[in-house]
Amino acid sequence: MPLACLCFPDTMTTSVRQQWLGNIRGDLLSGLVVALALIPEAIAFSIIAGVDPKVGLYASFSMAVIIAIAGGRPGMISAATGAMALLMVTLVKDHGLQYLLAATVLTGVIQIIAGLFKLGELMRFVSRSVVTGFVNALAILIFMAQLPELTNVTWHVYAMTAAGLAIIYGFPYLPVVGKVVPSPLVCIVLLTGLAMFMGLDIRTVGDMGELPDSLPVFLLPDVPLTWETLQIIAPYSLTLAVVGLLESMMTAAIVDDLTDTPSNKSRECVGQGLANIGTGLIGGMASCAMIGQSMINVQSGGRGRLSSFAAGVFLLIMVVFLGPWVSQIPMAALVAVMIMVSIGTFSWSSILKLREHPPSSSVVMLVTVVVTVSTHDLAKGVFAGVLLSAVFFANKVGRLMKVSSEAQDDGQLRTYTVVGQVFFSSAERFVESFDFKEVIRQVRIDVRHAHFWDITAVGALDKVVLKFRREGAQVEVIGLNEASKTLVDRFGLHDKTGAELPLGH
């Protein structure tokens, strides 16, 4: 015991050191790339939500820094997102910014409660097909989001975007330096310098909105602390908390696969909650993990908590102290980076394996993609995929239930042997497996190798037993396991005095 106590702090210290200092150069450089890419998106999402650009920028800074410390998935980026921005439009329009800040704080509280109850572990019910569909849909949405920047523009924009993609994919092949500096960072710096040198009249970050010129300050939301206020913000906060956690958990699962490292989903829930509380208290909007920025981070070499922390710090420094320079970054350079992200995010192998995978898995993946892309709502897409997966699973398990029979005692006794799971999906097949018209004196139903899961299954057993009794046969049910017996004793009718089958059955 003393040895364990001595070793645990050392192990924990080593883990913390590895997560923060195990990849300093890679994390700092990737954090810089992420910060540059976050700026126009944070401004755009602020506009969607109907608030000042600084609300989204402060939120991106706060979320990235706090989640780096409190989150359960090192290397994952959290900031202002489009999905969350869409959910708060009505609240801002009807009640104003202060109610949004209060809703952001309450969102964090709900997420902390979810983490304490380990609701993040529900991710195990999300099938691989749903995750693949989620990734593919997000890649499509990321690409579609770049199209406005490539529509009705001059040829300079197309040339700059093409040059950016050439740099991103070609720079890594350069000896030595190609492996040291992330190519997206090189793309942004070179194209910004080129645009400024040539004086090109193209859209820049500065055209997206005004950058803040001061640091965020701590403030409490200016709303009355009344039951009425809670009634106003609670529905929005609950929705924001659910969507935020869903996107964060899905993104964490994807980063887990990309880095081949595990993450603590419950800690991530709590971390998201703490980050949102902190964000609401400095004037930021509710936010969550971003798969696009997380992909940029990972593909640029970011792995540890330092990458997310650096992204937040660099973001704040750039928008507050280097605003005139940052505002000159051409949007074409960032479009090239996001196109790279969409190409790298999409699971191309899933298309090639559509014929190889079971039809149900392919259908789940495609439905997740279609619903997500058509609604632009990742939560709806994932919900549709999970629901369809559950239906397919229930149908598959239900079909594994088998009922066989054997006649004994010169045909006066028939033993039915049930093997498998009896529940709402297989209950009808269970009833149809018995011959109620056979003239027989005694029926034995052997369920030693079966399990009754719900009241639908208990109702099916009642129906079988009472039907045989109505035909004049004596019925004996043997082999109920403890759990099934408890369910049957509580909800079953056939073993109760005076039980009869209702008319029409």
So what's the pLDDT on residue 1?
Answer: 43
Which CATH superfamily groups domain 400-491? STAS domain (3.30.750.24)
Whether residue 382 contacts residue 250, with contact meaning beta carbons closer than 8 Å, is answered with yes
Question: Average pLDDT, stretch 56-81?
Answer: 94
Residue 84 Cα to chain centre, angstroms: 13
Give percent of the chain with pLDDT exceeding 90.
52
Question: Average pLDDT, stretch 104-128?
Answer: 89
The answer on pLDDT for 394 being more than 90 is no
Residue-wise DSSP of 123-172? GGGS-HHHHHHHHHHHHHHHHHHHGGGGSS--HHHHHHHHHHHHHHHHGG
Give me the count of residues in the chain. Answer: 505
So what's the pLDDT on residue 11?
Answer: 60
Cα distance between residue 36 and residue 204, in whole Å: 12
So what's the pLDDT on residue 258?
Answer: 85
So what's the pLDDT on residue 505?
Answer: 57
Question: Average pLDDT, stretch 305-333?
Answer: 92
pLDDT (tens digit per residue) in 217-257: 998 999 999 999 999 999 999 989 988 998 899 889 889 98
Strands in 390-441 per DSSP E = 402-408, 413-422
Question: Average pLDDT, stretch 99-122?
Answer: 93
Cα distance between residue 252 and residue 261, in whole Å: 10
Residue 272 Cα to chain centre, angstroms: 13
Dig out the tokens for 293 from the structure. Answer: 């920025």
So what's the pLDDT on residue 397?
Answer: 84
Residue 420's DSSP bridge partners are 450
> Which is it for strands 442-452 and 288-289: parallel, antiparallel or unpaired?
unpaired
In the block, tokens 């045989």 appear at 468
Question: Average pLDDT, stretch 47-53?
Answer: 85
Q: Which of 22-36, 62-76, 153-167, 387-401 has the lowest mean pLDDT?
A: 387-401
At residue 222, the 3 state secondary structure works out as coil
Domain map of the chain by residue range? 18-129+153-182+195-330, 400-491
So what's the pLDDT on residue 2?
Answer: 46
Question: Average pLDDT, stretch 263-273?
Answer: 94
pTM attached to this predicted model: 0.75
So what's the pLDDT on residue 8?
Answer: 43
CA distances from 402 to 416, 450, 461, 464 (A): 10, 9, 14, 15
Give percent of the chain with pLDDT exceeding 70.
96
What average pLDDT is seen over the chain? 89
